[in-house]
Amino acid sequence: MTNEQVVVIGAGFAGIAAATRLANQGYRVTLLEKNDSPGGRARKFTAEGFTFDMGPSWYWMPDVFDSYFAQFGKKTSDYYKLVRLDPSYKVFFGKGDQIDMPADLGRLKELFESIEVGAAEQLEKFLGQAAHKYKVGIQDWVYKPGQSIWEFAQPGIINDLIKLDIFNSMKKHVSKFFKNEKLVMLMEFPVLFLGQTAEKIPALYSLMNYADMVLGTWYPMGGMHEIIKGMVALAEERGVEFVYNADVSHIKVQNGEAKAVHLTDDRSFLADIVIAGADYHHVDSVLLPPDCRNYSDTYWDKRTLAPSSLIFYLGIDKKLKNLDHHNLFFDEPLEPHAAAIYENPDWPEKPLFYVCCPSKTDPTVAPEGKENLFILIPLAPDLEDSDAKREEYFQLVMDRLEKLTGQSIIEHVIYRRSYAHRDFISDYNAFKGNAYGLANTLGQTALLKPKLRNKKLKNLYYTGQLTVPGPGVPPSLISGQVVAHEIIKQKFSIAPQN
């Protein structure tokens, strides 16, 4: 037990997880949130009877959430009801050319075999390897803090690295098993969550296919924000104090320590320990004195960011056909358009897009007889975000959506809100307006990510999608636990390493 005061900046998944674990160990924890509600990118809003999740919409890796709540003697079912989606999602390859991805693995193998002879057996082999990667990667490696190479020093490590395909690309890995273009796209799709193309993502991340096809796609009734509500309830039960509308202006530094966190409204909070769950770059470059920064502007400019997004939240005054809960649109070739986001950052002519229609599963998120639509278009970070471009893309995507699903939609829109780069910057101080953090390329994995400890201030830590283990909801949830574990373990007896 301890009486040390911890101040956490940012009430996203990582910040809440870190705060809760430390409070559970007897630390006094205050969590400062810039916005008027918790959740970070997983906030929600309501309008005209519709309830919209603002960001994450996929619930994968249920074991990560189960493990989080279990450490406090709780279950996810204590806070929200999960349903497994079947089909997991729908994929459009063109008008009249679509696939429903079954939740049952046996039916999934039958689907693959109907597309390519021998693909069922190949899928079984592929997922067998992916299961090992998931066990090692998600249940072991991602919980390491990435401070030293010695964390990974274990018997048989070289052999394990070979088995985990660290140095092989996801694209090459998939091509060993499948030749059909549709199957290749289906197998490469999950790594888009990691912020790069399959050619740039290590084949280790076929573990994502295991999460998708074996562990399944789930949905918390009421929306993804129900997870945040549950986490906040648990945090408050353990003694975490939440302070909203708390916009941090700077961190006061004295004698090699972060002493206090000051807000723009002149409030301040004394601290023995500070955890930055807000945007790493913003904290490092804006909130700290220049001589206390972990990284230079040059360092940040050389990082490979995951995409930003243009999101449309739409209320539709009728029920829609030919859409499932999750819908992927691969009517344009996946690889060249995904690559363009990173290699030639601009507004693409034929963007990829994804549609979530949670009202297909959950009647509470839309008025009776209406639909809730969430449309996401991945875009390069640091683009000039104008109303004119948003409107251009709205018309472009809605035209494709209507043609591919064979129905009129745009004339039935009764509520509409857009969200893109400038909103990510305004709400989250997101570096270059990014939505997902750093891409999980080989050069930005584990030890090569921005460090979770400040090199010059012995009591300042970082957590979230710009540090270990990486982007996405489960990794962010893990990140908060990792940093809390480091604080509990070290008790500041070990000086930070440069």
Neighbouring residues of 299: CB distance < 8 A, sequence distance ≥ 6? none
Average pLDDT over residues 2-21: 97
Question: Does 161 or 282 have the greater pLDDT score?
Answer: 282
Give backbone dihedrals phi and psi of 434, rounded to 5 degrees, phi first.
Answer: -70, 155
pLDDT at 339 over 80: no
Q: Given pLDDT bands bounded at 50, 70 and 90, which one contains residue 214?
A: very high
Please give the pLDDT value at position 498: 37
For 32, counting Cβ atoms within 10 Å of its Cβ (0-12 exposed, 13-18 middle, 19+ buried), the class is buried
Question: Does 261 or 139 have the greater pLDDT score?
Answer: 261
216 near 84, Cβ under 8 Å? yes
Please give the pLDDT value at position 192: 79
Average pLDDT over residues 429-454: 93
pLDDT at 101 over 70: yes
HEC sequence for 388-442:
HHHHHHHHHHHHHHHHHHCCCCHHHEEEEEEECHHHHHHHHCCHHHCCCCECCCH
Please give the pLDDT value at position 152: 66
pLDDT at 494 over 60: no
Q: Given pLDDT bands bounded at 50, 70 and 90, which one contains residue 411?
A: very high
Average pLDDT over residues 155-179: 81
Please give the pLDDT value at position 126: 98
Could you state, in order of their start, the residue ranges of all structural domains in the chain? 5-44+63-80+222-302+440-490, 106-215
Q: With respect to CATH, is domain 106-215 assigned 2.30.30?
A: no
Please give the pLDDT value at position 346: 85
Cα–Cα distance, 472 to 476 (Å, whole number): 6
- pTM of full prediction above 0.85: yes
pLDDT at 458 over 80: yes
Q: Given pLDDT bands bounded at 50, 70 and 90, which one contains residue 340?
A: low
Please give the pLDDT value at position 496: 41
Q: Given pLDDT bands bounded at 50, 70 and 90, which one contains residue 343?
A: low
**5-44+63-80+222-302+440-490 sits in which CATH class?**
alpha beta
Neighbouring residues of 286: CB distance < 8 A, sequence distance ≥ 6? 250, 429
Q: Which two tokens stand for residue 354?
A: 């994804």
Average pLDDT over residues 80-89: 98
Spatial CA neighbour of 198 closest among 174, 234, 226, 228: 174
Provide the terminal-to-terminal Cα distance of the chain, rounded to the nearest Å: 29
Please give the pLDDT value at position 162: 65
Question: Does 157 or 146 have the greater pLDDT score?
Answer: 146
Give the DSSP letter of residue 358. G
CA 56 distance to own-chain centroid: 7
Please give the pLDDT value at position 160: 64
Question: In the chain, what percentage of residues exceed pLDDT 90?
Answer: 83
pLDDT at 445 over 90: no
Give the DSSP letter of residue 305. B
Q: Which two tokens stand for residue 303?
A: 């990082």
Please give the pLDDT value at position 492: 46
DSSP one-letter string for 169-205? BHHHHHHTT--SHHHHHHHHGGGGGGTS-TTTSBGGG
Range with lowest mean pLDDT among 80-84, 245-249, 487-491 = 487-491
Spatial CA neighbour of 434 closest among 283, 309, 308, 341: 308
Q: Given pLDDT bands bounded at 50, 70 and 90, which one contains residue 497?
A: very low
Question: Does 351 or 478 have the greater pLDDT score?
Answer: 478
Residue 319 half-sphere exposure toward CB, CA atoms < 13 A: 8
